[in-house]
Structure 1
Amino acid sequence: MRLSIISLAVVSQLAAIASVSAADDAKIEKISVVGSRLAVRTATDTPVPVDIITAEQLEATGLTETAKALQSAAPSYSFPFSAVTDGSDAVRPASLRGMSPDHALVLVNGKRYHGSALVHLNGTASKGSSNVDLNTIPMTAIKRIEILRDGASAQYGSDAIAGVINVVLKDADDGGLVNAQTGQTYMGDGEQWRVGVNKGLQTNEDGFVNISMEAQHKNSTNRAGNDPRQQYAALADGSPDPREDSFDRKNHQVGDGTYDNLGIFVNAGQSFSDKSKLYAFGGFSHRENESGAFYRRSLDARNLTAIYEDGFLPKIAPKLTDYTAVVGYKFNPLEWDVDVSAGYGKNEFEYHVNNSLNVSYGDASPTSFYAGTLSTDELDFTIDASRYIPFYNSSDLMLALGALWRENSYKIEAGEEASYANGGFGGATGSQGFTGFTPESQVDESRHNTGVYAEVENQLTQDFYWAAAARYEYYSDFGSNTSWKLATRYELSDRFAVRATANTGFRAPSVQQLYFSNISTLFSNDPVTGQPVPTESGTFNSLSDVAHALGISELKPEKSQSISGGLVFTGDDGLSITLDAYQIDVDDRIVLSSSVRPDQSEAVAAALATTNAQSARFFLNAVDTRTRGVDFVASKGFSLGSYGDLNTSLAYSYSITDIQSIHLPNTFGDLDPASLFDNVEQVRMTRATPRNKGNLNFSHHYGDFKTNLRFNYFGEYMIAYSNGEEAVYGDKITTDLSVAYSATDNLTVTLGGQNLFDVYPDKAPSTQQFNGIFKYPITNAPFGINGGYYYLDLRYTF
């Protein structure tokens, strides 16, 4: 059965949190909101595994991006590097427990948070998915992040197959901070700065407004090798152009792009009595990113020497704008705690291409283009109610009921005509680097769903806890779904406890997967030479004429079955250990197929005859998978007497995904169905993310000094290439170190280094380096290819 809600997991807990004084703040940071509606629990008391990442832990990473900081703090969360992947350079795919990015539900203050409009297309992990862009939430605004590592569709609805990430915003009604950080890589590039401000205000005796603002700037990094190829056409006598000797051969940009980001978040509440409260929160962020595509040489047919005498590097320069707003009211009629809320979120991804041209326009071609906009929005209305009911053995039963209505919309706006049109002068059509969305790609579609749920929780005895949940939802585009969950926890002694869950789950096809369609220039390695070759690749949704002509079925929801079990040890000396194992089966998993070409099938040739595409790919419910894993977390504090205090933690995550079956449409005539999901895509699904990840943390406080030392372990991963080659990239350990000095009661100065010993991933096989230009893998590197980074951080609290 299936339950979907957004807020009840938070209702009674947030009320309890708000009532605790600032003096108890350290205890607040141990409170778990996700996963249980009973009385406030600690991370080791929950019936399911929950990580609680405090603001202090995020800040201690020294990282300026929320998603990167979370990866350093929680091994079960992955945020891999990608470069030369169009829009994915600006919004990288992030995942939980080694699963797809869209298998993790993100909440803010317990309310569902909208996703990014971008669809990952070009070689990244989890190609064909979309994810929530956590970097739209400023780190300055975050009080803590809770990660529920268990299937929770019956509690929270679609997408919660791998788990739930809940971002809790700061809610202080006084004080604040000003934070400034600057740093750069050991190579001297990637210079960046971040300035954040947070202020809590008391509006009256029972109200607060907490405001956070953050601005960031980062310069690009570049780890490209020199381009040894001939750059200019030979002279009339066949001799090399003398400009070959002076040409700057580091012409590609392989690394992080440049970006400027501004984010603002507000969290507010007003209590009218002990039983009624009005609350609201919302945010706005705007980011401008710029990253490189493939370089066009002077002699290239895709260049016009009258415009770019020496060739050019197209720059993909998207502008991302994100909005969110939630308002709700809590009250207590007839002993029920009721929460009524409405929320709206929107994400816009506006494509621009700079330093480019449209060859077919000849020498009159523009050099900058507006290439179109992707946008998605979400509107939610929820009502949740809970109360305690006397139950067996003098215990209370927590009963929670709720309903929701949600609308999701997706829109593609065409770019300016010159970004996609044929100007009539011959040669390549469209803006180089990223071809604009055509009028044929435009969509403006929406879908809605309604849902109801029920949940019961009961601490039957001092030792035994149990819970059950069920949810039913109806979607306007594919029908209904029901999911359920059972959870239990039993204390064997004062020190040991066991916990277990079983649940079913689902993920509705995202509106991005339902409606995204585009024809763009992609680069794929030639199976003979191994060199990147440009092709006009069409991505066609299941509603398109091409999909219908080839018998591609419309998408249906993914469905999951999960079980987990765990052991918990809590010592009286502060030692806590949790060990949890899990298995997640997902049926009808949605994938973006491999590209198929007209020369492979007459049916494909006929379907593409009326398009400009040289190949086609589709979203398909094509794969059944099984993910198994183990999570281990241990922490211990030590008093070192006159030498201060030491806190230690060890976290390790192992997950392995296997493909159980592949069921592809057999409607392409002479085309082998296996080519729709080839070895490249199979390896991407099962091995692109390290199976093993972990970190070991030491935090030492001595007088006015605080030292943080962290060792990060990233296991091996694999990439398969279109020429049949497979490359295994070995495991690595990176080291982060920071020393903070409290200069005054208010001012703290921190000097730190990330990847202290300048570790890089293994180099790519020589056959995949594109003439030595791509020395390192340009996708899926779990900690990036920038090497070491050092920074200075100033924090003033008041």
Structure 2
Amino acid sequence: MSDLLHDRYTARDCVVRQQFTVATTPAAMLPDDGWPGAGPCREKAMTILKAALAASVSLAAFVSATAAAQETAIAPGVADSEGSDSPSETIIVTGTRRTDRTVADSPVPVDVITAAALQTNGYTETNKLLNTLVPSFNFPQPSITDGTDTVRPATLRGLSPDQTLVLINGKRRHTTALLNINGSVGRGSSAVDINLIPSIALGRVEVLRDGAAAQYGSDAIAGVINFQLANKRDFSGRATITYGRYESHVNGIEGFTGLAVNGAGQPTLAPEATSLTNGVFNTTTTGKDRHVDDGRTVTVAGPVGLPIGEEGYLDVSAEYQDRNPTNRTGYDPRQQYDRIGGLVDSREFTVNRLNHLYGDADTKDMKLFVNAGAPITDGIELYAFGSYNFRDGASAAFFRRPLAADGRNIAAIYPDGFLPVINTALYDISGNAGVRGEVGGWNYDLSGGAARNRIDFFISDTLNRSFGPTSPQAFDAGQLQYSQTTANLDVNREIAVGFLSKFSVAGGLEYRRETFQIKAGTPGSYAGGTFGGASGAQGFPGFAPVIGGQRVDQLRSRDNVSAYVELDADVSDRFNVQLAGRYEDYSDFGSDFNGKAAARLELVKGFAIRGAASTGFRAPSLQQQFYAAQATNNVNGVLLETVTLPVDNPIATALGATALDPETSVSYSAGFVFDAVSRLNVTVDVYQVSIDDRIVVTENLTANRAAGATGAGAAIARILDGAGFNNTNAARFFVNGLDTRTRGLDAVGTYRIDVAEGRLNLTAGFNYNKTKVKKVLAAPGPLANVPGIILFGRQERLRLTDGQPRTKVNFSADFDRDWLGITARTTRYGKVLAAGGELGPSGSGVFNDLELKAKWVTDFELRATLNEKYELAIGANNVFDVYPTKVPTGLAGVSATNGANVYFPSTNYVAPWSAFSPFGFNGRYLYARATARF
């Protein structure tokens, strides 16, 4: 593995050397497909990626060949609902430590997603699959959000991505090192990268839709997602190749034919043009929507399951995915070049106006998962599972125009402007091992695990404007690292209690250590030069080692220990009660205790009511406490040094920052289960989750040092100057800023019926979810005395309350008969409000808001099985080519301040779809899949 990492660094160093020595225009470095970035050196990186995949598959083949010679009895794995007439009979392992709990018996709602459901889809990204299968799961796909373009978070029940606990085989999965700091859903969170988990490695997924911190610890406020790796225990496997691409007519983006001109042959200005030197031109179009054919994605996967002895198992799953970027940008009508003698530059008529890249990032993924277990003596089993992932990603920032008024380009380097590219290299490794068995009537599970996630940032096709014409065009921008180490002991047993039908007790201990570190980029990526203008790499300034006189690149760490007890009692055959309590102690903020009570009562056979009440918490992540970054922003023509600060940074503490407290929650749920009809299961649950002290990032607290300035900006300047930070213009940091309440309803129904000599599986799901901000906490420290201070603004509040669908509906039908299979799914995504900032002068009352209307998105697949070993499938995701509501352009309204017309930002032309769309904005995806089983 060390050799592989060395080779990956060699590949990236190749890019650095290449781009630092190229003195010609960047166009000379573009690959054939026009995607800027690593250029020819990417070929070497891909060679290494493919070699890693080949090594993984070779390993699986070698072990398989060895195992094939053994005469082994096939031992079935955990019972799957696919083999049962009633889905409610599926055994679950999430939300309980009992070994006989079924879906219908559970006092809290649990969804079970089978491996078959994950495989009948054109998408191979696990987040996208769950988005179409789980009504309360949401996966927006933002663009131009830096690292979030390649590490996209998902949410459950409309809460933050880091308020859902993710498990693999019942063990806590580590989060990513990335902090989502830009304007996406989940801003300010650092969550688990679910897309690192290959769907082909899974036996099933269990989604617990209820607070469970008392059982599992921090983060389980919205619920728990437990990914169960396959453990087939027999010699079997398959090889799958999936090919897909987007074939779409971009709804509302008409083909560009040229600029509209006047009688003198000069372009005419649109009403929102601010001046002749920074204009927006009127354009002419074909009148027909632009057609796109992009996003080619090839996924090669090879899971192999094989026995070890008579009862052991080894599953090896390898997946390689090559996803080309998509581009749904609009034509840029803005003036690109400075006027010459009052006339437009002739290049305005020939320049490529599709100058942005707005869509999915270019990614290359390699995923390797191993799951193994074998008995060593009677009643004692050793087990282990682990993963290794790396991902090469390339996404774009906003285009830097050659126009002098744009203020970010150097014409001597990029005479036609440039598009900075953010290259990310993600490395992720984890491993867990343990022993389980029985001693003295107690079942025990003793385990340990370690994981590390690292993201390197390399910015190409860029410059540091403050260095002038001698600026390099590529920079190593630094690195983020996160690690987690755990040790667990879990025990449980059944105890005979005379007046109870069944009584089980479980308990356990956990130790966890976490670390986080920022590693600085090369000085040119963040430093300022003597030429003037913005310092740092354009598009993504590098991480600096020192901010506000404090080193921010030191290793940060914390430890916590916890203990829990869980009691589960069947008072009778129809009445169950569950109690749990957990104590946690953290080295950085202290201790916390949480409890849970749940019950289920079967009133008549086949109809039961259930309910739960619990408290929960989420510890502030190390990323939220210690992330640091700086950038120079152009605000109304003025360059402002803006910093994102750790809570213990001297600048932050001068403004009132304090150590973060944990978020705390109180959750209630109540519902019913109906399974009186054979093969039919219906669950309906209502819920409420109240969260106090939610951790949010503040607005940019901007100082106003102008002579005679008053108001909040002047007060912030006095605070900073009084503390000796005269050069700091704007700062932001994390605070416990909000109390919220989320209420909702989940309904899920499944039904199986024999029809036309085949079996038809029908599923329906509905989620209603509404979040309300109950309280905005007071500004801390000296900020409390600043008049008119806005610590958490309108846009950020609306992002929490309206930035995700209020409702979501899923319908699916799967039909299988002999060699033929058909799957049809449709999902209705409810309306979303993409809230924007205020347009025009303060108090104008005009905002850059957009209501995304509810949309139906439909998928269809047809597949055929040959000789029970080979399967061919074709299909389409978003078969009707549906797009979200288009972002508006032009006139936005009339200012209440001065009565002047107010226009939407001109960037709305080039980013015509909101990143808050719950189903993305790529259009129709066509695919074919071939599978061979052995």
Do they fold alike, i.e. is TM over 0.5?
yes
- Other-structure match for 1:292: 396
1:620 corresponds, among 731, 735, 746, to 735
Q: Structure 1 residue 324: deviation in Å?
A: 0.7
Q: Structure 1 residue 459: deviation in Å?
A: 1.4
2:339 is the counterpart of 1:234: yes
The Cα offsets for residues 75-118 of structure 1, whole Å up to 9 and x where unpaired, read as 11111120111111111121101101111000000000000111
2:793 is the counterpart of 1:681: no
User: Which stretch has the larger CA shift, 615-624 or 770-779?
Assistant: 770-779
- Check conservation: 1:519, 1:612, Cα contact below 8 A: no
Aligned counterparts of 1:326 and 1:446: Cα–Cα separation in 2: 21
2:928 is the counterpart of 1:792: yes
Aligned counterparts of 1:488 and 1:673: Cα–Cα separation in 2: 49
Q: Letter of the aligned partner of 2:819 in structure 1?
A: D
2:137 is the counterpart of 1:137: no
- Other-structure match for 1:399: 505
Secondary structure in 1 aligned to 2:623? Answer: helix
2:875 corresponds, among 731, 737, 752, to 752
- Check conservation: 1:664, 1:674, Cα contact below 8 A: no
1:607 corresponds, among 706, 720, 723, to 720
Aligned counterparts of 1:22 and 1:447: Cα–Cα separation in 2: 37
Aligned counterparts of 1:151 and 1:310: Cα–Cα separation in 2: 54
Q: Structure 1 residue 148: deviation in Å?
A: 0.2
2:619 is the counterpart of 1:505: no
2:591 is the counterpart of 1:486: no
- Check conservation: 1:182, 1:194, Cα contact below 8 A: yes
Secondary structure in 1 aligned to 2:653? Answer: helix
Q: Relative contact order: is structure 1 or structure 2 higher (C-alpha 8 Å, sep ≥ 6)?
A: 1
2:241 is the counterpart of 1:180: yes
1:549 corresponds, among 654, 665, 673, to 654
2:859 corresponds, among 724, 733, 736, to 736
Q: Structure 1 residue 668: deviation in Å?
A: 2.1
2:673 is the counterpart of 1:568: yes
Instruction: Write the mapping of 1:202-601 to structure 2, written as runs, cut at 5 A.
Output: 202-235=307-340, 237-299=341-403, 300-393=406-499, 395-440=501-546, 441-521=552-632, 536-599=641-704, 600-601=712-713
Secondary structure in 2 aligned to 1:323? Answer: strand
Aligned counterparts of 1:312 and 1:433: Cα–Cα separation in 2: 10
The Cα offsets for residues 48-87 of structure 1, whole Å up to 9 and x where unpaired, read as 1001111111122321211111111111111112011111
Aligned counterparts of 1:636 and 1:672: Cα–Cα separation in 2: 60
Instruction: Write the mapping of 1:760-779 to structure 2, written as runs, cut at 5 A.
Output: 760-766=883-889, 767-768=903-904, 770-779=906-915
Secondary structure in 2 aligned to 1:325? Answer: strand
- Other-structure match for 1:120: 180
Secondary structure in 1 aligned to 2:625? Answer: helix
Q: Letter of the aligned partner of 2:716 in structure 1?
A: V
Secondary structure in 1 aligned to 2:132? Answer: helix
- Check conservation: 1:708, 1:737, Cα contact below 8 A: yes
C-alpha change, 1:272 and 1:20, in structure 2 (3 Å) is same
2:306 corresponds, among 195, 201, 210, to 201
Instruction: Write the mapping of 1:586-735 to structure 2, written as runs, cut at 5 A.
Output: 586-599=691-704, 600-605=712-717, 606-607=719-720, 610=725, 613-642=728-757, 644-666=758-780, 667-668=782-783, 671-672=786-787, 675-723=790-838, 724-725=846-847, 726-735=849-858
Q: Letter of the aligned partner of 2:859 in structure 1?
A: D
C-alpha change, 1:707 and 1:611, in structure 2 (3 Å) is farther
- Check conservation: 2:535, 2:631, Cα contact below 8 A: no
Q: Structure 1 residue 133: deviation in Å?
A: 0.2
Q: Structure 1 residue 778: deviation in Å?
A: 3.7
Secondary structure in 2 aligned to 1:211? Answer: strand
Q: Letter of the aligned partner of 1:370 in structure 2?
A: D
C-alpha change, 1:321 and 1:611, in structure 2 (3 Å) is farther
Q: Structure 1 residue 777: deviation in Å?
A: 3.4
Secondary structure in 1 aligned to 2:440? Answer: helix
- Other-structure match for 1:5: none
Q: Structure 1 residue 143: deviation in Å?
A: 1.1
Q: Structure 1 residue 575: deviation in Å?
A: 1.4
Secondary structure in 2 aligned to 1:93? Answer: coil
- Check conservation: 2:660, 2:735, Cα contact below 8 A: yes
- Check conservation: 1:344, 1:379, Cα contact below 8 A: yes
Q: Letter of the aligned partner of 1:520 in structure 2?
A: A
Q: Structure 1 residue 22: deviation in Å?
A: 8.7
1:151 corresponds, among 208, 211, 235, to 211
Aligned counterparts of 2:80 and 2:293: Cα–Cα separation in 1: 43
Q: Letter of the aligned partner of 1:741 in structure 2?
A: A
Aligned counterparts of 2:654 and 2:355: Cα–Cα separation in 1: 43
The Cα offsets for residues 562-593 of structure 1, whole Å up to 9 and x where unpaired, read as 11001100033311110000001101111111
Aligned counterparts of 1:314 and 1:692: Cα–Cα separation in 2: 37
The Cα offsets for residues 446-472 of structure 1, whole Å up to 9 and x where unpaired, read as 000011111110112110111100011
State, as a whole percentage, how many aligned pairs show the same letter.
39
Structure 2, unmatched stretches of 5+, are 1-73, 248-291, 547-551, 705-711, 839-845, 890-902
C-alpha change, 1:389 and 1:604, in structure 2 (3 Å) is same
C-alpha change, 1:709 and 1:759, in structure 2 (3 Å) is same
- Check conservation: 1:293, 1:314, Cα contact below 8 A: yes
Aligned counterparts of 2:294 and 2:316: Cα–Cα separation in 1: 32
Q: How many residues align?
A: 773
Aligned counterparts of 2:205 and 2:783: Cα–Cα separation in 1: 47
Q: Structure 1 residue 120: deviation in Å?
A: 0.9
The Cα offsets for residues 178-215 of structure 1, whole Å up to 9 and x where unpaired, read as 01001111120111110000111223223221100000
Q: Structure 1 residue 553: deviation in Å?
A: 2.0
Aligned counterparts of 1:504 and 1:404: Cα–Cα separation in 2: 19
Secondary structure in 1 aligned to 2:433? Answer: strand
TM-score by length of 1: 0.94
Q: Letter of the aligned partner of 2:337 in structure 1?
A: Y
Aligned counterparts of 1:478 and 1:438: Cα–Cα separation in 2: 27
C-alpha change, 1:613 and 1:713, in structure 2 (3 Å) is farther
Q: Structure 1 residue 127: deviation in Å?
A: 1.1
- Check conservation: 2:685, 2:746, Cα contact below 8 A: yes
C-alpha change, 1:216 and 1:607, in structure 2 (3 Å) is same
- Other-structure match for 1:9: none
- Other-structure match for 1:8: none
Q: Structure 1 residue 670: deviation in Å?
A: 5.7
Aligned counterparts of 1:347 and 1:562: Cα–Cα separation in 2: 31
Tell me which structure has the larger Cα radius of gyration: 2
TM-score by length of 2: 0.80
List structure 1 runs of 4+ shifted beyond 6 angstroms. Answer: 22-25
Aligned counterparts of 2:325 and 2:904: Cα–Cα separation in 1: 23
Structure 1, unmatched stretches of 5+, are 1-17, 527-531
Q: Structure 1 residue 381: deviation in Å?
A: 0.7
Secondary structure in 1 aligned to 2:720? Answer: helix
2:124 is the counterpart of 1:64: yes
- Check conservation: 2:331, 2:910, Cα contact below 8 A: no
- Check conservation: 2:669, 2:686, Cα contact below 8 A: yes
C-alpha change, 1:121 and 1:253, in structure 2 (3 Å) is same
Secondary structure in 1 aligned to 2:499? Answer: helix
